[in-house]
A = this chain, B = another copy of it.
Amino acid sequence: MAMTFKRFLVGRAKRTEQAIHERLTKRTGLAVFASDALSSTAYASEEILLVLAVAAAYGQASAFNYVVPITLVIAVVLAIVAISYRQTIHAYPSGGGAYIVAKENLGTTPGLVAAAALLVDYVLTVSVSISAGVAAVTSATQGTRWAWLDHHRVLLCLILIAFIAVANLRGVRESGSLFAAPTYAFVFSFLFMIGYGIIHYFLYPGSVAPITPENLNLAEGYELQPLTLFLLLGAFSNGCVALTGIEAISNGIPAFKQPEARNAATTLTWMAVLLTSMFIGTSVMAYFYHVHPHQNETVISQFARIIFTGPMGWFYYVIQGTTALILILAANTSFADFPRLASLLARDRFMPRQFATRGDKLVFSNGIIILAVFSGILVTAFGGDTSRLIPLYAVGVFLSFTLSQVGMVRHWLKAGRLRVPAADKPEREEPAPHWKKSIVVNGLGALATLIVLVVLVITKFIHGAWIVVVLIPLLVAMFRAIHRHYLDIATQLTTEGLTGLRPIRHEVIVPISGIHRGVVKALEYAKSIAPGHVTALYINFDEEATQKLRQKWERLGGGVELVVLASPYRSLVGPLTRYVDRRMKTHQDQMVTIVLPEFIPARWWHHLLHNQSSLMLKGALLFKPDVIVTSVPYHLKSRR
Contact = CB atoms under 8 A, between A and B. Distances in A.
A525 B631 contact: no
A23 interface: no
A388 interface: no
A359 B571 CA distance: 9
Contact of A571 (B13, B485, B493): B13
B635 A500 contact: no
Contacts of A552: 495
A501 B501 CA distance: 31
A17 B568 contact: yes
A630 interface: yes
Contacts of A13: 569, 571
A93 interface: no
B628 A499 contact: no
Contact of A517 (B494, B504, B608, B622): B494
Contact of A628 (B352, B494, B632): B632
A19 to B, nearest CB: 11
A31 interface: no
Contacts of A516: 493-495
Contacts of A591: 525, 528
A500 to B, nearest CB: 5
A360 interface: yes
B556 A636 contact: no
A433 interface: no
Contacts of A359: 570
Nearest to A574: B13
A318 interface: no
Contacts of A632: 628
B501 A517 contact: no
Contacts of A527: 501, 503-504
A401 B52 CA distance: 88
A611 interface: yes
B625 A16 contact: no
B492 A610 contact: no
Contacts of A213: none
A503 to B, nearest CB: 7
A528 B500 contact: no
B609 A358 contact: no
A184 interface: no
Interface in A69-126: none
A569 B628 contact: no
Contact of A500 (B504, B518, B558, B593): B558
Given A484-B639, A494-B516, A639-B484, A500 B16 contact: no
Given A489-B599, A568-B16, A591-B528, A635 B630 contact: no
Contact of A593 (B529, B558, B639): B529
A640 to B, nearest CB: 10
A515 interface: yes
A520 B504 contact: no
What is the interface residue range for chain A against chain B?
Answer: 35 or more
Contacts of A611: 353-354, 357
A485 B609 CA distance: 9
A461 interface: no
Contact of A15 (B517, B568, B599): B568
Interface in A345-360: 352-354, 357-360
Q: Which of A529, A552, A630 has the most CB of B within 10 A?
A: A529
A555 B353 CA distance: 27
A17 B570 CA distance: 11
A606 interface: yes
Interface string A479-498: 00010111011001111001
Contact of A503 (B352, B528, B599): B528
Contacts of A498: 517, 520, 556
A257 B608 CA distance: 40
A492 B593 contact: no
Interface in A608-633: 608-611, 622-623, 625, 628, 630-633
Contacts of A637: 492
Contacts of A622: 600, 633
A502 interface: yes
A240 interface: no
A523 interface: yes
A506 B571 CA distance: 34
A560 interface: yes
Interface of A: 13-17, 352-354, 357-360, 482, 484-486, 488-489, 492-495, 498-504, 506, 515-518, 520, 523-525, 527-530, 541, 552, 555-558, 560, 568-571, 591, 593, 599-600, 606, 608-611, 622-623, 625, 628, 630-637, 639
11 contacts: A14-B569, A15-B569, A16-B569, A357-B570, A360-B569, A482-B609, A495-B515, A504-B524, A504-B528, A529-B593, A628-B633
Given A492-B637, A503-B527, 20 more contacts: A15-B568, A15-B569, A17-B568, A352-B609, A352-B610, A354-B611, A360-B570, A360-B571, A482-B609, A492-B517, A492-B636, A493-B516, A499-B556, A500-B555, A501-B523, A501-B557, A501-B558, A504-B524, A506-B525, A628-B631
